[in-house]
Amino acid sequence: MTAYNIWNTLRARYGSIETFQMYKNFIHDRDFDLLLNQFLSTFLKEVKILEEEAARYSVTLPKRPAADIKIDKKIDELTDRFIYRKIFEDLVTEMYALARAYRTSTTNDSMRDLFKDALLGHASQFQVLYKYGKLKSWEDNPPAYKPPKPMEKEDLSVSETFHIWDHLNFRYDQLELTQFYVSFAHDTSFIAALEMGIKLLKKQIELFEQMSLKFNVPVPERPPAKIVQRVDPEAMEDHFMYRVLLSGIQDAVDLHMRAVLETVRNDHLREVFIDLFKTEMNAYDKFLKYGKAKGWTKVPPMYGELV
């Protein structure tokens, strides 16, 4: 899968480079042009690294775009606002591709680190571009959240409200499942890893409960304070519990990323989701490496002998 991720990420980056190069010919705003130049410079550096990795692992390369695209004629009907929205859509699409590459590159730690850096850098670019679009009034205002008890200021959109509620529900479910599993785990190091996860989940739950109260977001029911064991512990195997929890962390990575992309009104809240995004990726890396050391992860089909 890592070989495919190298090829697919290169193809996505090539597409973005072509898109940026073409639209730059029609931009009127000087600052917007400089911003896209910065993005292009980053893309070209990442492409060079990926091309080197592709050569290292003998991965077939997709066709490269032209060195540049030059169009002399200006088209006034092609407004900066229109170009901004197309670039914005391109960044969102590519972020999903990078996230998938990061999550599924499980056999090669160095390549997963490379995809992780690219993904975090992409999230930063998304932030910069979105704030610039808001500054220029190129963004539409999403529906505002209007709770039964009015707030002094409408700080949230309906999508942001949903993500606070959804994250809290997800964390409650993860906490209940992890507490359930810790009572069945046999390996002492696995128990320690689960208990560390429980501490992290409780910390994040407290954060989202506070945000829910602050913004008058409905709070879901909490899980039981303690899990009562009613099943024979020998019926549960550590490697099975590990893989279920690993899948949950992968789902959390996607959950945080969607929250980053859809938090379009409250800039501070988007920063919170970006921090959670980083924390979840760090947890995923550590938990994945732990499972690989234990021999609990499933090995996907390999691309040649070097991957």
Q: Which has the closest alpha carbon to 216: 306, 292, 261, 155?
A: 155
Per residue in 41-89, pLDDT tens? 999 999 999 999 988 888 888 888 777 777 766 677 789 999 999 999 9
The number of CA neighbours under 13 Å toward the Cβ of 135 is 9
CATH architecture for residues 2-135: Up-down Bundle (1.20)
Give 194-238 pLDDT, tens digit per residue: 999 999 999 999 999 999 988 888 888 887 776 666 565 666 789
By percentage, how much of the chain surpasses pLDDT 90?
58
- The pLDDT value given to residue 153: 61
- Write out pLDDT tens, residues 249-296: 999 999 999 999 998 888 889 999 999 999 999 999 999 999 999 999
CA-CA-CA-CA torsion sign (176, 287, 188, 245)? positive
Q: Decide whether 2-135 matches 158-294 in CATH topology.
A: yes
Cβ atoms 98, 9 nearer than 8 A: yes
The dihedral of CA 115, 305, 15, 50: what is its sign?
positive
Domain ranges within the chain, ordered by starting residue: 2-135, 158-294
Residue 192 neighbours by CB under 8 Å, 6+ apart = none
Look at residue 102 and give its three-state secondary structure: helix
Q: Bridge-partner residues for 157, per DSSP?
A: 144
CATH architecture of residue range(s) 158-294: Up-down Bundle (1.20)
CB 256 within 8 A of CB 276: yes
